[in-house]
Structure 1
């Protein structure tokens, strides 16, 4: 029987790291249990039955499973409505539809957390057809202060009468900043509400679902959006995204997804309902596995002498772990190791490439059952200083741990780290 190529020295490093972080796992498990009960209660309330797993074709009228899943998401996130569809091609698509639910020509979008994620900026300020810029929708942003939202500056900027949408990005994206807790998001919401009661507050919730006990819509956000191949899909959803929030905003977003007057009434599910339901049921547990993998990875990389954020002992607000390598070589070796620990395409060597939607070349390690699924162990980074890698995912902690150790092995073999 063969095993992975991990030296005894690196295995011992892993054992020491795991011993150090074990106490933090109890908190992660407690949050997972809390959110699992919340999901289970929503399933029971909405009387989920096997008949709801049957797929529809064509227009998808009267898809009971699809419509019930919308209500389950709304119940879990504490909102009036939700839109859960395999027709969303990725998180950016869902976010784009959610943004257009609140603005029209002449309005302004205010980003409270600096620039939005690279691909979403194309929606806002891009020169291509269909962008907000092309529709005459303005954009302003408030820079982060010491890695956190500058609440007084946000309140001042939000006073403008033409600001109709205030955008908050929960996760750090490719930025070197804090990922926001729901408590921090709530503080921003309160500051905006105090000066502009008409503006819609939207949160990019990608990577953050089920990491905490609360969600942004439970701390005054009007609408949130995310991807089903991240946390809420539980590693089982094959594609799709979701939007949850105020009923009128969700309806407006549905018109952007399909067409005005059609909205959520159409959209067949083609037999995918079972995976969306089962993935959501698994999501709190699967998210906890990813968070444990991130904590373990932070401890190992810190012991090897690299700067990590969050620190192993820090509270977690999303599944992302950053490691600053300072130069491209150890970054590439790390990604090679993560790829070698993947169940799919483990034999592939990741290299930097011109990825659509990004200004810099990106290196991405991702050997997933679902292409691009960030809830599965992956690591990616824009090839620019300070060469920070963003690791996320891990369907099981045991497999995520192996991926981290293989990454440590590649770095050590190349002569980097302690």
Structure 2
């Protein structure tokens, strides 16, 4: 059926063609959604989630049975010994930082297998910013394996791992503010197998932000020892208003818990207030919402490629996270596009974003984020650092329909208006 959402006939023709192009790729996403929904539903049934588990605690948060059961559910879903799911994590960066600080000591080495980590993690490590409070200031050494044409250089990696003998080898699943492809599960398996063969005693740590439920297998099912992510991304299902999770080997997760609270307390305390209900419900609907966002990313890629923009991934590529990159190679066009996305947001559509300084980033950043939860990248948003090649990173979408409408309106405004 011809799409009649816009008046311009040329754009209508393109939209109808894009609708047909993306259909077989949507079917793959829907199959993943069903598989992951079953995984989550089975975990809820196994652990006998009850209405009382949705109630929170205050003060110290002692005897919070809903919090403890949610930890067990996360451990089940991600096939790990232990999990730590807490409101006290303020962001994905904080969650990753806690996992690393909890398991690294002065003199240890952290090596990133997937090139340089993204901007905020560079400040945590101490290779950007003023190094204050960073791992480097604390006496932890850092190295990384440069990527070769966007892929892991296993020959160079072997040399660096055997030279540095890192305690932790980190794998960043998503591209961050880079134009490389995100690493699909099949490639992450190759990385994990390689590290285990090269350095059997190394801790393999996965930055899983943006990746949860995008494929049917998670990195911890393949032998990763420790993994972390944010609840205002995929696993929060668009309902969690804050928080993060760490899953993995019991001793490593416990070390992170001591870092989050205090030695002797660990994960035994931490009030959940009113968060349990949204954490449970958000997790339950996460496979569906993640699928909606991935459909939106596929549609975005197909449509923007048709109007002549450089996109990564292409709509035909395998998806392993929520991120869609669009390269403008032009500062002004990048800014206008992000402003158009903001104008098609449910919240603050009247606000005009402009480049500005942002905590954790060396460059100015521009961000369209008309979201119900501040900073939620499971909701449809677009952002990017003001630096060549002037790439915009779109992510999220609570509903595919919103992403589609926002993109159509932005494309019509920027490319088909008189």
> 1:82–1:243: 8 Å Cα contact kept in structure 2?
yes
State the alpha-carbon separation in 2 of the partners of residues 253 and 130 from structure 1: 17
Q: CA deviation at 1:127?
A: 3.5
Q: Alignment partner for residue 136 of structure 1, among 139, 154, 169?
A: 139
Q: CA deviation at 1:96?
A: 0.4
Q: 1:335 to 1:161 in 2, by over 3 A?
A: closer
What pairs with 1:12-411 in structure 2 (closer than 5 Å)?
12-125=13-126, 126-160=129-163, 162-411=165-414
Aligned residues: 413
Q: CA deviation at 1:9?
A: 4.5
Q: 1:20 to 1:359 in 2, by over 3 A?
A: same
TM value normalised by structure 1: 0.96
Unaligned runs of 5+ in 1: none
> 1:6–1:409: 8 Å Cα contact kept in structure 2?
no
Q: 1:239 to 1:111 in 2, by over 3 A?
A: same
Q: CA deviation at 1:50?
A: 0.4
Q: What per-residue deviation string (whole Å, max 9, x for no partner) do you get for residues 232-275 of structure 1?
A: 00100011000010000000001111111111011000011010
Deviates more, 1:257-266 or 1:149-158: 149-158
State the alpha-carbon separation in 1 of the partners of residues 408 and 288 from structure 2: 22
Instruction: Give the match's secondary structure for 1:95.
Output: helix
> 1:337–1:409: 8 Å Cα contact kept in structure 2?
no
Deviates more, 1:230-239 or 1:405-414: 405-414
Instruction: Give the match's secondary structure for 2:167.
Output: strand
What is the aligned-residue RMSD (CA, Å)? 1.6
State the alpha-carbon separation in 2 of the partners of residues 20 and 188 from structure 1: 33
> 1:202–1:224: 8 Å Cα contact kept in structure 2?
yes
Q: What per-residue deviation string (whole Å, max 9, x for no partner) do you get for residues 212-231 of structure 1?
A: 00011011111110000000
Unaligned runs of 5+ in 2: none
Q: CA deviation at 1:45?
A: 0.7
Q: CA deviation at 1:151?
A: 2.0
